[in-house]
Structure formats: C-alpha cells, structure tokens
Amino acid sequence: MAKEFSRSERVADQIQRELAQLIQRDMQDPRLNLLSVSAVEVTRDLAYATVFVSSLSDKHSHEEILTVLRKANGFLRRELGKAMRLRIVPELKFKYDESLEKGMSMAKLIHDAVESDRNEEE
C-alpha cells in the first residue's frame, strides 16, 4: 500500500519547486547565482514555511544571501500565491543549510586521510 503524505508535506514539496524556479528565473540578483532550495518545512496549519537554501558560490556570505532573500520575501510570497493558488500563503523564513559544505569538508578530510595512509605505506 502506498504511503500517504500529509497536506503540509505536499505543500512543502510544491513550495520548494516553485521557489527554486522563481529564484532562478525571476530574481536577477547576482548574489543568488548557484543557489539551491534544499528543503522546505511547513507547519501543520500551513502558516509558516522554513526554507533551507544552500549556495556553491564562495563570493558571497551566508548572511548576505539570506538578507537578499528576506528583502524579496513579499515578492516571493506574492508569486507563490499566484502559482499555487493557496488561500493563505505561508510566511517564509529563510535559513542557510550548511550540510553541503559540511559534506564537502568531510569528503576532503577522508581524501586527505587516505592520501596520508598511502604516503606512509610507500
């Protein structure tokens, strides 16, 4: 039997897809290049949505990226309302997702450890 998904999970998935498209297509800010919406969590009453974003760009700080997104909050909510046809669009809270960076640093540590073991064997 297929797993049933709650309405908040379905809305979160749709918000994630729509926001990713809006940020790439409609926002012309160069600080948002290489930005991805990694996850969205919506409260059960659909009043608030926490949007987790990550960036591969080293040029701009996390706070700078979050500031741009917070300033565009009204625009993003309005466009989400048009695209999703929700009666009440959740209030968006942006948080930076550091899991990608942590994963890359862990992979580098593992690579360095393997290389040092190879050098010791030789």
Identify the structural domains of the chain with CATH numbers, from first to last. 7-97 (3.30.300.20)
pTM of the predicted protein model: 0.77
Q: Tens-digit pLDDT profile for the chain (122 aa)? A: 456 778 889 899 999 999 999 988 888 888 788 888 999 999 999 899 999 998 877 777 888 889 999 999 999 999 999 998 888 899 999 999 887 777 777 888 888 888 888 888 77
User: For 35-87, what is the HEC assignment?
Assistant: EEEEEEEECCCCCEEEEEEEECCCCCCHHHHHHHHHHCHHHHHHHHHHHHCCC
